[in-house]
Amino acid sequence: MTKKKKIYFDSIKKHLTLRNFLIAGIALIIYLMFADLAKAILFTALFVPLGTVSIKVTRLLPQANIEVITPCSFFLGYLYGWPVGVFYGVILGAYMWSTAYSISQFVVMSLFLNGVSAFMGHYFSTSFGWSFTFAYLLAMGIRNILYFTIGLLIGGNPVENTMHTITATLTNMLIFPTFMIMLYNIATII
């Protein structure tokens, strides 16, 4: 047993050098200087696969709107500013939508509403200082009203537009808030 412990300690001991401590210290200082940017990149990297899967599930259920890109855009806009939320919702959102759909006027409308949601998140946070929960529910309510109205204005099928709005309301305002609030609490702790 002593020989195994000694071998294990020797393998750890060879990594405990001044150079490694300096590298770890510099990495910690850089992280502390750019913590919000690092967290924004981390959450964006986590949200891209989640958004892609949600778009593909929405593609399989044509009468439903189960995408999570809009709530994630709001989340990023609320915590890290509207440019981060708009980048995720519009730029990366276009990529995620293109994996399952051809670009149509409804996809462009969804991308536009992602950007609006990110901007509302930032605006509600900085200008009014509203809590995340209240701001999220208000923004998703506004987003769903805009989705329904713009969808009718661009000539969508009224029945299909109503179904998409109802399922978006159910998912964005009843199912996803718990997940988003949990993520918000995690993001404010780390």
11 & 94 share domain: no
Residues 139 and 84 in one domain: yes
- pLDDT exceeds cutoff 80 at 181: yes
Residue 154's SS3 state is coil
The boundaries of the domain holding residue 63 are 35-189
Percent pLDDT > 70 in the chain is 94
Record the tokens describing residue 15, joined without a space.
Answer: 């990594």
What pLDDT is attached to residue 60? 85
Among residues 135, 134, 35, which one has the least CA distance to residue 78?
A: 135
Same domain? 18 vs 61? no
CA–CA distance, 143 with 137 (Å, rounded to integer): 10
Total tally of structural domains belonging to the chain: 2
Range name among 119-123, 146-150, 170-174 with the lowest pLDDT average: 170-174
Give yes or no: residues 89 and 136 share one domain.
yes
Instruction: Kindly report the pTM of this predicted structure.
Output: 0.83
What b/e string do you get for 108-127 counting C-beta neighbours within 10 Å, with b at 16 or more? ebbbbbbbbbbbbbbbbbee
Together in a domain, 22 and 66: no
pLDDT value of residue 5: 58
Q: Are residues 136 and 107 in the same domain?
A: yes
| Tens-digit pLDDT profile for residues 86-114 | 999 999 999 999 988 888 888 899 999 99
Tokens of 161: 């537009």
- Is the domain of 85 the same as that of 140? yes
Question: Does 174 share its domain with 153?
Answer: yes
Domain containing residue 134: CATH number: 1.10.1760
**Are 63 and 17 found together in one domain?**
no
Is the pLDDT at 2 greater than 60? The verdict is: no
Q: What is the mean pLDDT of residues 65-94?
A: 94
Q: Does 66 have pLDDT greater than 90?
A: no
Name the pLDDT band for 17 (thresholds 50, 70, 90): confident
Q: pLDDT of 20-65, one tens digit each? A: 888 888 988 887 788 888 889 989 999 999 999 999 888 888 777 7
**pLDDT value, residue 4:** 59
What is the per-residue burial (b if ≥16 Cβ within 10 Å, else e) of 53-77? bbbeebeeeeebbbbbbbbbbbbbb
State whether 148 and 103 are in the same domain. yes
- Enclosing H/E stretch for 138: helix 132-153
CA gyration radius, the chain: 21
* Res 76 pLDDT > 90: yes
SS3 31: helix
CA 64 to chain centre: 20
- Report residue 190's pLDDT band, with 50, 70 and 90 as the boundaries: confident
7 and 62 inside one domain:
no
Same domain membership, residue 116 and residue 137: yes
What would the DSSP string read from start to end of 74-104? HHHHHHH-HHHHHIIIIIIHHHHHHTTS---
More confident residue, 190 or 37: 37
